[in-house]
């Protein structure tokens, strides 16, 4: 019942209790850590120590633990069954869905839900970019008071926090002019004009081996930054196509991109 995922990719030293039960538990933990990609080292407890002797006992007696940790040996050759891509057993409805359902949170009431991806589509030249920049600015400026909520896209603004607008087409001069037309620039607003930041970099591209859709290093870097940003409420990618080295008219590609955006929205709440 323990969530080990924060240790994925880490180097972990296992220090078992000095008894048979401790050895069994250490073996189970090593298997689990290996299955999530952790690098595992095992501490060899000195044989002259009493039964059940552990790290707490070492601290209590003033034992010099640094040499013991440095001498820990890498664990190799651990084989673990592959985790199922969809673990149905974790989603027993009677256990997962208890009590009252959580209320849906809205970025724009009845229009854009929080923690989900949304797509704006319209003909060229109708003002999509300006409307999305205005939405992003209002999210960053909104104080969260319902009486002060502006109306955008036909609904009242309900979400507020850090807002990020990434444009693949407009340069800094165009962005600056539009922001000036919209009013004072709020503190929680980030606007990245990619033409002035080295150009649009694909977030999604064909896998060189399979030729199927895949994420790129640029996507992984963006995902890492967004997940680390506190109070993130809205991320706009405008437009989407220049950020994809994929034909989005192919259903497999479109489904892949949308699923990654949905997962990012769910993990950040934005």
DSSP state of 106: E
Instruction: Give the three-state DSSP class for 46.
Output: coil
pLDDT at site 138: 97
Banded pLDDT at 96 (limits 50, 70, 90): confident
pLDDT at site 164: 97
CA distances 63 to 23, 47, 55, 57, 73, Å, are 21, 14, 9, 8, 19
SS3 breakdown of the chain: % helix, strand, coil, rounded to 5? Answer: 40, 15, 45
For residue 239, give every residue at least 6 positions away whose Cβ sits within 8 Å of its Cβ, in sequence order, or none: 128, 129, 168, 169
pLDDT at site 67: 86
Mean pLDDT of the chain: 90
Element of type H or E holding 190: strand 189-193
Is the predicted pLDDT of residue 15 greater than 70, yes or no? yes
Is the predicted pLDDT of residue 81 greater than 60, yes or no? no
Omega cis (within 30) before 122: no
pLDDT at site 115: 94
pLDDT at site 129: 95
Banded pLDDT at 143 (limits 50, 70, 90): very high
pLDDT at site 83: 55
Banded pLDDT at 85 (limits 50, 70, 90): low
CB-based burial label for 138 (10 Å; 0-12, 13-18, 19+): buried
Banded pLDDT at 190 (limits 50, 70, 90): very high
Helix 251-268 to helix 217-227 angle, to the nearest 10 degrees? 20
Banded pLDDT at 202 (limits 50, 70, 90): very high
Is the predicted pLDDT of residue 1 greater than 60, yes or no? yes
Q: Which of 183, 159, 126, 184 is nearest to 236 (CA)?
A: 159
Strands (E), 19-123: 39-42, 73-74, 106-108, 112-113
Q: Which of 115, 129, 126 is nearest to 182 (CA)?
A: 129
Bin 144: left if φ > 0, else alpha if -120 < ψ < 50, else beta.
Answer: left
pLDDT at site 69: 85
Average pLDDT over residues 67-80: 77
Banded pLDDT at 182 (limits 50, 70, 90): very high
What percent of the chain clears pLDDT 70, i.e. is strictly above it?
96
Q: Is-contact 136 207, C-beta < 8 A?
A: no
Is the predicted pLDDT of residue 254 greater than 60, yes or no? yes
Residue range 171-180, pLDDT digits in tens: 999 999 999 9
CA distances 241 to 43, 104, 201, 207, 235, Å, are 51, 29, 11, 17, 16
């Amino acid at each position: 019942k323990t969530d080990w995922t924060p240790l994925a990719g880490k180097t972990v030293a296992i220090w078992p209790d000095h008894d048979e039960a401790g050895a069994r538990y250490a073996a189970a933990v090593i298997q689990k850590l290996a299955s999530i990609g952790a690098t595992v080292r095992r501490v060899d407890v000195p044989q002259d120590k009493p039964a059940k002797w552990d790290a707490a006992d070492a601290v209590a007696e003033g034992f010099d633990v640094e040499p013991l940790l440095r001498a820990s040996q890498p664990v190799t050759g651990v084989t673990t069954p592959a985790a199922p891509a969809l673990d149905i057993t974790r989603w027993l409805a009677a256990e997962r869905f208890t009590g009252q359902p959580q209320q849906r949170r809205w970025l724009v009431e009845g229009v854009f839900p929080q923690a989900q991806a949304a797509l704006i589509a319209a003909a060229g030249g109708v003002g999509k970019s300006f409307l999305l920049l205005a939405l992003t600015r209002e999210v960053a400026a909104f104080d969260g008071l319902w009486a002060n909520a502006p109306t955008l896209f036909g609904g009242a603004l309900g979400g507020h926090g850090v807002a990020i607008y990434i444009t693949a087409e407009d340069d800094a001069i165009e962005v600056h002019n539009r922001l000036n037309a919209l009013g004072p620039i709020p503190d929680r607003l980030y606007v990245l004009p990619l033409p002035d930041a080295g150009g649009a970099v694909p977030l999604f591209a064909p896998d060189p081996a399979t030729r199927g859709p895949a994420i790129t290093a640029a996507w992984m870097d963006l995902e890492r930054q967004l997940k680390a940003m506190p109070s993130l409420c809205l991320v706009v990618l405008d437009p989407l196509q220049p950020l994809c080295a994929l034909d989005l008219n192919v259903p497999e590609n479109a489904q892949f991109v949308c699923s990654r955006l949905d997962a990012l929205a769910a993990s950040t709440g934005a």
